[in-house]
Structure 1
Amino acid sequence: MIYKIRIILDAEEDIFRDLEIENSDSLEEFHNALTQAFGFMGNEMASFYTCDQEWNQDEEIALFDMGENGSDVRLMNETVLEDVLSEKSPKMIYVYDFFNMWTFFVELADIVEKEDGRTYPNVLFSFGELPDSPPEKKFESKPSIDFDDSFGSYDDLDFDENWN
């Protein structure tokens, strides 16, 4: 089967790509198609994240395992697209280049039969140009936790500076 997927840059302006890819391809193959479709070199770290219907991030699926002794993180080359993207869970988040945090919303749009003579992955539609730098993220301006900064003086604490 062929997945038709829309990948949208997390930005105010509309920038997206529609791709077709085989549901049996790995997430690494999808990552390669996605980076090419948006014009990235593909040489930066990246991860997919499963998510719920409201785009709340869940499990990470990384390009490489960066743990020293191996870890429990799922890897793109070991994960098949149809195992994480389906009609029941049609959304994922993709982050490319962790220093710049290019963030994309990935959504399964349709599942169709494979067409003879067509090569996959295939860019169906491209809209908008990627900006020179990633869109700024808007974070809360006020922390959600109130800190009690009415603390008077460290002299009031029973603290032994020669403790060791």
Structure 2
Amino acid sequence: MIYRFRIILDAHDDVFRDIEIEATATLEDFHNAITQAFGFGGQEMASFYTSNELWEQEEEIALFDMSEETESVRVMQETLLEDVVSEIERNLIYVYDFLNMWTFLVELAEIAEPEIGRIYPNLMFAHGEIPEEAPETEFIAEGMDDVDFDEDFDIDSEDYNDLDFDENWN
């Protein structure tokens, strides 16, 4: 089976790529196809996150396991696309370069039969130019979007004398 994805840069302008890839490809193969399609060098850290229909970030699938915990993180090289994406679970979030936070919404558009003679992954369509810098993405913790820290926690940002830490700690 072939998965056809639309990968959309989370930005104000429309920038997206349509890629088709084998369902049995690894997420690392998909990562490489995405970086090439958007013109990135591919040498930065990246992760996929499973996501629901509301684009809420769920489980991380990292390029490398950098955790120091006994429970390791799933890695792209060992994870097949067909194990995380289906007709029901269609969405992934892809983050490339954690310093700049290039964030992409990845949606399964179609499942098809492979075409004889076609080489996969295949860039089907490209729209828009990638900006010079990663667009700013606003991250809001669930339930915290209406919190005014100064007012709700009675903190005056100009008065640090009452805080319990040494301001010259390093």
TM-score, normalised by the number of residues in structure 2 = 0.83
> What is the CA–CA distance in structure 2 between the aligned matches of 1:23 and 1:120, rounded to whole Å?
10
Q: Which structure 2 residue ranges, 5 or more long, are not aligned?
A: 163-170
What's 1:78 paired with? Answer: 78
Listed one character per residue, the Cα deviations across residues 30-52 of structure 1 (whole Å, up to 9, x for unaligned) are 00000000000000000000011
> What is the CA–CA distance in structure 2 between the aligned matches of 1:138 and 1:22, rounded to whole Å?
33
What's 1:42 paired with? Answer: 42
**Structure having the higher Rg:** 1
The root-mean-square deviation of aligned C-alpha atoms, in Å, is 2.1
Q: Which structure 1 residue ranges, 5 or more long, are not aligned?
A: 155-164
| 32-41 or 63-72: bigger deviation | 63-72
> Using a 3 Å threshold, how does the CA distance of structure 1 residues 2 and 44 change in structure 2: closer, same or farther?
same
AA at the equivalent of 1:149:
I
What's 2:132 paired with? Answer: 132
What's 1:147 paired with? Answer: 153
> What is the CA–CA distance in structure 2 between the aligned matches of 1:120 and 1:76, rounded to whole Å?
18
Q: Is the 8 A contact 1:65 1:71 kept in 2?
A: no
May I ask how many residue pairs the two structures share in their alignment? Answer: 153
> What is the CA–CA distance in structure 1 between the aligned matches of 2:71 and 2:39, rounded to whole Å?
31
TM-score, normalised by the number of residues in structure 1 = 0.86
What's 2:122 paired with? Answer: 122
| 142-151 or 12-21: bigger deviation | 142-151
Moved over 3 A (4+): 68-71
> What is the CA–CA distance in structure 1 between the aligned matches of 2:94 and 2:134, rounded to whole Å?
14
How much identity, in percent, do the aligned residues show?
60
What's 2:107 paired with? Answer: 107
AA at the equivalent of 1:11:
A
Listed one character per residue, the Cα deviations across residues 100-153 of structure 1 (whole Å, up to 9, x for unaligned) are 00000000000000111000000000000001100122356x7625213389x8
Q: Is the 8 A contact 1:16 1:127 kept in 2?
A: yes
AA at the equivalent of 2:54:
E
What's 2:92 paired with? Answer: 92
Shift of 1:95: 0.1
> Using a 3 Å threshold, how does the CA distance of structure 1 residues 83 and 132 change in structure 2: closer, same or farther?
same
Listed one character per residue, the Cα deviations across residues 66-115 of structure 1 (whole Å, up to 9, x for unaligned) are 12466421000010001111111100000000000000000000000011
